[in-house]
C-alpha cells in the first residue's frame, strides 16, 4: 500500500478543481432574464408560451407544457397517463429517483426492468418480462443522453396498451432515426436543472403529439382549473371572474424569467451539442485503447447528445475498487459523481419491499462506474487534464 501515497501525496494533475458538470450562462442569457424582471408579468406570461413553441419547433412535437422541474414533468405525465392506485409503471433502476417516484406520487408501483449490459439503457426484453395485468405505463430513460430502443419499446407498448413516457432529462438534442427526442414517445419529459444540457436554474417540460394528453397535462400543472367556458361544467357561469376547478392538479408553473433563460440557452443548444460530442469523441479515442476501461456502446439509431460521460472500470484488470479510483480522481482535483445508485437500493424502496439483486446487470454496471467531467464550457486543456488523470490512475492500478 506504500505506492498509494504516490497518488494521494504526489502533485495532483490539476490545481484547480473541476466538476463533472456545470452550466454555461452568458451575458445574453442574463439580459433576457432581466428584461422579464423589468416587465409586468414575471410568471406564466409570454415567455413561457414562447418557450413552449420553441420546444415544439425544435423537437417537432405538437404540444409542450413547461413546468417547474423535470420531476414535476414526470408527475404530470403520470397523471395524464391515468396512473392510479395499484397500477404498475416499468422503469430502469439506473436513473435519478424521480423516474420511479413519479409512479408512487400517483399511488402506483414502480417495477424495475434490467438494463442492456452494453448500452446501459432499459432492455426491451426485460420490459416485456415485467409486464403484468396491472402494468399501465413505461418510463424509459435516455440514460446519459442516448435514446432508448424506441422502435422496440413503442411496439411493446402498442401491443400491451401501455403509455410510453420517455424521461429525456439527459437527451435534449438527441435524435432517434433522424427524429428529435420529444416527438416520438406518447409523452417526453425534459429537465432544465443546471447540470442538464440547457438550464433555467430549475424547470422542466412535457411534450406530446396527443391533444387529449396535452389537456390533461395543463390541468395537472394548474390546479385542475379551467378558464375556458367550453370546458366548464356549470353553465351559465357566475360571471367574468369565474373559473372552475374540474380536477385535482398542482401548482407546477414555470416562471417567465426561467423560461427566458431556457429560451436564451436554446439559441446555443446546437453549439452545446457539438462541443459535448467533440469531448466524448476525444475521451472515446483515448479510453477505447485501454483494456482497463469499458466504453459505453452506442446504438446506430441514436444520434446522441451526451449529457454524461461514464468512465467504466474493468475491475478484472485493476487492483482497485471503484471507490478507490473515485477517491484518487478526487485527489487529482477531478470531482466525479456516480450516476446512479440503483434506485431500489435506497432505504425508502427497501422499506417498500425491494431487494438487492433484482436487476443484476444494472448492479454490475453500477459497481464500476463514475461520471467524469463533461460540459460544453470545458476547455481542451480541461479535457486533457481529465485524460491525464485517468491514464495516471489506470497505469498505477493496472494488473497487466
Q: Does 98 bind ligand PLP (CB under 6 A)?
A: yes
Q: Which is nearer to ligand PLP, 199 or 226 (CB)?
A: 199
Measured from the CB of residue 74, what is the shortest distance to ligand PLP in angstroms?
6
Residue 224 φ/ψ region, left for φ over 0, alpha for ψ in the -120 to 50 degree band, beta for the rest? left
Q: Which residue is nearest to ligand PLP (CB)?
A: 70
Decide: residue 316, CB within 10 A, 0-12 exposed, 13-18 middle, 19+ buried: exposed
Q: Largest Cα–Cα distance of the chain, in whole Å?
A: 84
Q: How far is the C-alpha of 109 from the C-alpha of 70, rounded, in Å? A: 19
Min dist. Cβ of residue 187 to ligand PLP (A): 14
Q: Which stretch binds ligand PLP (CB under 6 A): 17-25, 93-101, 104-112, 387-395?
A: 93-101
Least distance in Å: CB of 185 to ligand PLP?
A: 14
Distance CA 38, CA 35 (A): 5
Q: Tell me which stretch binds ligand PLP (CB under 6 A): 26-34, 90-98, 128-136, 152-160.
A: 90-98
Burial class from Cβ neighbours inside 10 Å (0-12, 13-18, 19+) for residue 251 reads exposed
Residue 192: CB minimum distance to ligand PLP, A: 6
Q: Is the peptide bond before 340 cis (omega within 30 degrees of 0)?
A: yes
The answer to whether residue 191 forms part of the interface with ligand PLP (CB under 6 A) is yes
Query: For the window 58-87, what string marks contact with ligand PLP as x by the rule CB under 6 A?
Result: -----------xxx----------------
Q: Which CB atom, from 163 or from 389, has the smaller least distance to ligand PLP?
A: 163
Q: Choose the stretch contacting ligand PLP; rule: CB under 6 A; options: 30-38, 58-66, 96-104, 247-255.
A: 96-104
* Main-chain dihedrals φ then ψ at residue 362, nearest 5 degrees: -65, -40
> Of the ranges 163-171, 215-223, 231-239, 249-257, which one interacts with ligand PLP (CB under 6 A)?
163-171
Q: How far is 196 from 45, CA to CA, in rounded Å? A: 24
Site for ligand PLP in 99-128 (CB under 6 A): 99
Q: Which of 149, 169, 218, 279 binds ligand PLP (CB under 6 A)?
A: 169
Q: Between β-strands 187-191 and 369-372, what pairing exists: parallel, antiparallel or unpaired? A: unpaired
- By CB under 6 A, residue 200 contacts ligand PLP: no
CB of 195 to ligand PLP, least distance (A): 7
**How many Å apart are CA 286 and CA 147, to the nearest integer?**
24
Nearer to ligand PLP, 344 or 397 (CB): 344
Provide, rounded to whole angstroms, the least separation between the CB of residue 169 and ligand PLP.
3
Minimum CB–partner distance for residue 71 and ligand PLP (Å): 3
Instruction: Using CB under 6 A, count the residues that bind ligand PLP.
Output: 14
Tell whether omega for the bond before 236 is within 30 degrees of 0, i.e. cis.
yes
Tell which one of 204, 222, 249, 342 touches ligand PLP (CB under 6 A).
204
How many residues are present in the chain? 400
Which of 24, 58, 63, 96 binds ligand PLP (CB under 6 A)? It is 96
Least CB distance to ligand PLP at residue 175 (A): 18
How would DSSP label each residue in 298-360?
A: --TTEE---S-EEEEE-GGGBSS-HHHHHHHHHHTTEE-B-S---GGGSHHHHHTT--TTSSH
Rounded Cα distance, 284 and 28, in Å: 33
Binding segment toward ligand PLP, per CB under 6 A, in 25-33, 76-84, 92-100, 298-306: 92-100
The C-alpha atoms of residue 369 and residue 337 are separated, in whole angstroms, by 9
Please give the Cα distance from 143 to 265 (Å, whole number). 22
141 binds ligand PLP (CB under 6 A): yes
Q: Which is nearer to ligand PLP, 154 or 170 (CB)?
A: 170
* Backbone region of residue 174 per phi and psi (left: phi > 0; alpha: psi in -120 to 50; beta: other values): beta
Residue 97 or 331 having the CB closest to ligand PLP = 97
What cell does 351 get?
A: 422499506
Binding site for ligand PLP (CB under 6 A): 69-71, 95-96, 98-99, 141, 167, 169-170, 191, 193, 204
Amino acid at each position: 500500500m506504500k505506492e498509494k501515497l504516490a497518488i494521494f501525496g504526489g502533485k495532483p494533475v490539476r490545481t484547480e478543481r473541476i466538476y463533472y458538470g456545470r452550466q454555461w450562462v452568458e451575458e445574453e442569457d442574463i439580459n433576457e432574464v432581466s428584461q422579464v424582471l423589468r416587465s409586468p408579468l414575471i410568471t406564466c406570461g409570454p415567455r413561457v408560451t414562447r418557450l413552449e413553441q420553441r420546444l415544439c419547433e425544435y423537437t417537432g412535437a405538437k404540444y409542450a407544457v413547461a413546468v417547474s422541474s423535470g420531476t414535476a414533468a414526470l408527475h404530470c405525465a403520470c397523471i395524464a397517463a391515468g396512473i392510479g392506485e395499484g397500477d404498475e409503471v416499468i422503469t430502469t433502476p439506473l436513473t435519478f429517483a424521480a423516474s420511479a417516484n413519479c409512479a408512487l406520487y400517483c399511488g402506483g408501483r414502480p417495477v424495475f426492468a434490467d438494463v442492456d449490459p452494453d448500452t446501459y439503457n432499459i432492455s426491451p426484453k426485460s420490459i416485456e418480462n415485467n409486464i403484468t395485468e396491472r402494468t399501465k405505463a413505461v418510463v424509459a430513460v435516455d440514460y446519459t443522453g442516448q435514446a432508448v430502443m424506441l422502435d422496440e419499446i413503442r411496439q411493446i407498448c402498442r401491443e400491451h396498451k401501455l403509455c410510453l413516457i420517455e424521461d429525456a432529462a439527459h437527451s435534449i438534442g438527441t435524435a432517434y432515426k433522424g427524429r428529435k427526442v420529444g416527438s416520438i414517445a406518447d409523452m417526453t419529459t425534459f429537465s432544465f436543472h443546471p447540470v442538464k444540457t440547457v438550464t433555467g436554474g430549475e424547470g422542466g417540460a412535457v411534450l406530446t403529439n396527443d391533444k387529449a394528453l396535452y389537456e390533461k397535462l395543463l390541468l395537472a400543472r394548474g390546479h385542475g382549473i379551467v378558464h375556458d367556458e367550453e370546458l366548464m361544467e356549470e353553465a351559465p357561469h357566475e360571471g367574468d371572474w369565474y373559473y372552475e376547478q374540474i380536477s385535482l392538479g398542482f401548482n407546477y408553473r414555470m416562471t417567465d424569467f426561467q423560461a427566458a433563460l431556457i429560451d436564451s440557452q436554446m439559441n446555443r443548444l446546437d453549439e452545446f451539442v457539438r462541443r459535448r460530442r467533440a469531448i466524448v469523441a476525444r475521451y472515446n479515442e483515448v479510453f477505447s485503447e485501454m483494456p482497463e476501461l469499458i466504453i459505453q456502446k452506442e446504438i446506430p439509431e441514436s444520434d446522441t447528445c451526451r449529457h454524461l460521460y461514464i468512465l467504466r472500470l474493468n475491475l478484472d484488470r485493476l487492483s482497485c475498487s471503484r471507490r478507490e479510483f473515485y477517491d484518487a480522481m478526487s485527489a487529482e482535483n477531478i470531482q466525479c459523481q456516480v450516476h446512479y445508485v440503483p434506485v431500489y437500493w435506497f432505504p425508502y424502496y427497501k422499506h417498500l419491499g425491494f431487494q438487492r439483486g433484482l436487476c443484476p446487470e444494472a448492479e454490475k454496471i453500477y459497481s464500476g462506474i463514475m461520471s467524469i467531467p463533461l460540459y460544453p464550457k470545458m476547455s481542451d486543456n480541461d479535457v486533457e487534464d481529465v485524460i491525464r488523470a485517468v491514464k495516471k490512475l489506470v497505469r498505477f492500478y493496472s494488473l497487466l
